[in-house]
Structure 1
Amino acid sequence: MVVHKLAPQPGEYSYVFGGREPMISIKPGDIVEVSTEDCFGGRVTSPDRLPSEVVPFNEMNPVSGPIQVEGAEPGDMLAVHFVSIVPARKYAVSCVLPQFGALTGTRETAMLNESLEERVWFYDIDLESWTASFKARNSDYRLQLPLDPMHGTVGVAPAGGEVRLVMTPSTHGGNMDTPEARTGTTLYLPVNVAGAMLSLGDGHARQGEGEVCGTGLESAMNSVIAVDLIKEGAAAWPRLENDDYIMSTGSTRPLEDAYRISQKDLIAWTSDLTGMDMLDSYQLVSQMGLSPAANVCDPNYTMVAKLPKWTLQGAQAYGGAHSRLRKTAEDYSSR
């Protein structure tokens, strides 16, 4: 087992997918221990430091990478398994930002009313109890929330030499903000350029489905990923798999089109795995599928479509790639 370390220094983080030279090069089957910064670049250090005053928009969501995967070519599928995701600081930050979030006017959703007040919440992180402390800003209300760490932004270089800000999710992955990208999940990303050029960041100590206010519990992370390559296996959109579900994503506006993309991809995937035709697969997904929102606040919205794996009657996606990567994760953890 080959284990790499990726720990960018300030000034080495990327704010785009595409157009950058790799920081490290790995082979399929390798492990990467990677540190990531929070979406504010670590600049919000107290509730009085408002993100709009200390973080330029084009420096939001720094990502670590790119990671070049040897042998990856356009048309392949990259498999990224989250072995572990652990908050790196004793606190996480959430906020309401002007003109950002699902329930306020934005540049794309024009309203006559004033923007919401910018407000910052600090959460104490306790790794021993695996909790985060919610403290209301304008009352004495307190609550311990269970940690559920995830990476909101994971992606590869887009096709055609395009360079995209990390904030916008699309077919290359990016800022999808799905809580499904947690420990034990495998994320499948279509490869668009030689080497794939994988980057990740935007750790959340936890996040509700939809990320309605526009931020999760934003946290620097110490993460471990296992990376594999599925030759000529690319789908049109990122997919996920855990022990219980296969999942498809769609990222665009309006939200109903993101929903349609995710559902159409899941139906096609179900058809491929079961051998059923499209309409039979459509019927099965209609009765057994789940449809969590990932984000309804980013430049593109993201929807997820999920199907329980028991409905596939033993069929395995990508020749059992998820199970193989789970075994790799277990071997790493037991060293």
Structure 2
Amino acid sequence: MSEFYEFNPTPEQYAYTFGPNKPLARVRPGDVLKIRTEDCFGGLVRGFGDLPSQVCTFPYLNPVTGPFYVEGAEPGDTLALHFVSITPARDWAVSSTFPHFGALTATSHTAMLHPPLEERVWVYEIDKAAGIVRYSARNSDFTVDLPLDPMHGTVGVAPGAFESRMTITPDAHGGNMDTPELRAGTTVYFGVNVEGALFGVGDGHARQGQGEVSGVAVEAAMETVVAVELIKGVATAWPRIESDTHLISTGSARPLEDAYRISQHDLVTWVSELTGLDLLDSLQLVTQAGEAPVGNVVDTNYTMVAKLAKDYLGRTSVYEGVHARLRALGAQYR
């Protein structure tokens, strides 16, 4: 029988790595959690004068709520997390330019002699009832209302082999993938690397454009409901996402071409397994019908996703139908 838990962490309980951290709680497959997550700045950036480089301390950025230990999870299994709802916890959110971070400035990986971009903070109004996020320019009176599209930039499990990874780094364990595909109504699949899986969730965005070009989305604290399931004896090499309409593969690496290849390779082989098509027939289908949105081009690894509409695959069963089951379970907790 499913259990429902609520978890609102204290500041000292947030995690800044995926790895062998002590779990905050133990849950079972079929359980549903309502968790509070903080924004990537830990709630410390609240106004124009709160420059991240002054109010935040590296490496205490991008906190996640977790880890949570999943009973029965073992290496070789797949963990499924279904986002039932993702709701901004405040009526405001923030964004910024940040020194040595982003796609259009000098960074630690792309060294230049010119100075970094000016550090600047933007404050966004959130109107949940109207479903909008209000952008206001800093140096003019220009404003525009953007659609509210809550998502989580960071979600993942512990890596294997005693490894610990900073939450800002995306890789095969998940992490800071920063793809808008991680919104409510989707199920994300992770290969389990350690006993208990040890998953965490954070880095809520009220919305984000593809690529997160400045390095910072509309960063928001969230109240998130997640349904948990475990698929025994089925391995998943890279995080995968399933919505009602699409199958989505991810790849995270540098350079961006390798992230693209990883995501496309995973989607082509996944489609082949689901349909029985040989690899070249599957490649041909993905080539002509697939999509390739960018996750991020700013993190320590970049993230690409590969999408294919499920309508093109006929009647196929994906991960034993877990997405539909978790969607039905989550409907009880909306």
Q: Write the distance in 1 (CA, Å) between the matches of 2:157 and 2:215.
A: 23
Q: Write the distance in 2 (CA, Å) between the matches of 1:320 and 1:210.
A: 31
Query: In structure 2, what residue type is equivalent to 1:210?
Result: G
Query: In structure 2, what residue type is equivalent to 1:102?
Result: A
Q: Secondary structure at the match of 1:257?
A: helix
Q: Write the distance in 2 (CA, Å) between the matches of 1:126 and 1:295.
A: 26
Query: In structure 2, what residue type is equivalent to 1:16?
Result: T
Number of equivalent positions: 333
TM-score, reference length from structure 2: 0.99
Q: Within 5 Å, which residues of 2 pair with 1:294-309?
A: 294-309=295-310
Confirm or deny that 1:269 pairs with 2:270.
yes
Q: Write the distance in 2 (CA, Å) between the matches of 1:18 and 1:114.
A: 35
2:147 corresponds in structure 1 to 146
2:240 corresponds in structure 1 to 239
1:127 corresponds in structure 2 to 128
Q: Write the distance in 2 (CA, Å) between the matches of 1:10 and 1:236.
A: 32
1:54 corresponds in structure 2 to 55
Deviation at 1:112, TM superposition (A): 2.1
CA RMSD of aligned residues (A): 0.7
Q: Write the distance in 1 (CA, Å) between the matches of 2:285 and 2:319.
A: 21
Query: In structure 2, what residue type is equivalent to 1:199?
Result: G
Q: Within 5 Å, which residues of 2 pair with 1:183-198?
A: 183-198=184-199
Query: In structure 1, what residue type is equivalent to 2:261?
Result: R
Query: In structure 2, what residue type is equivalent to 1:198?
Result: F
Deviation at 1:274, TM superposition (A): 0.2
Query: In structure 2, what residue type is equivalent to 1:262?
Result: S
Q: Secondary structure at the match of 2:59?
A: helix
Q: Write the distance in 1 (CA, Å) between the matches of 2:117 and 2:272.
A: 45
Query: In structure 1, what residue type is equivalent to 2:215?
Result: G
Query: In structure 2, what residue type is equivalent to 1:13?
Result: Y
Q: Write the distance in 1 (CA, Å) between the matches of 2:303 and 2:46.
A: 29
Q: Write the distance in 1 (CA, Å) between the matches of 2:315 and 2:309.
A: 11
The percentage of counterpart residues that share the same residue type is 57
Q: Write the distance in 2 (CA, Å) between the matches of 1:102 and 1:57.
A: 20
Q: Write the distance in 1 (CA, Å) between the matches of 2:53 and 2:42.
A: 13
Q: Which runs of 4+ in 1 moved over 4 A?
A: none
Q: Write the distance in 1 (CA, Å) between the matches of 2:9 and 2:332.
A: 26
Can you list the C-alpha shifts for 1:123-181, whole angstroms capped at 9, x where unaligned? 01111111111000001101111100000000100000111111100010000001000
1:17 corresponds in structure 2 to 18
2:180 corresponds in structure 1 to 179
Q: Write the distance in 1 (CA, Å) between the matches of 2:55 and 2:37.
A: 19
Can you list the C-alpha shifts for 1:168-200, whole angstroms capped at 9, x where unaligned? 000100000010000000000110000000101
1:162 corresponds in structure 2 to 163
2:209 corresponds in structure 1 to 208
1:322 corresponds in structure 2 to 323
Deviation at 1:318, TM superposition (A): 0.6
Deviation at 1:230, TM superposition (A): 0.7
Q: Write the distance in 2 (CA, Å) between the matches of 1:22 and 1:37.
A: 18
Query: In structure 2, what residue type is equivalent to 1:10?
Result: P
**Unmatched 5+ stretches in structure 1:** none
Query: In structure 2, what residue type is equivalent to 1:136?
Result: A
TM-score, reference length from structure 1: 0.98
1:68 corresponds in structure 2 to 69
Q: Secondary structure at the match of 2:312?
A: helix
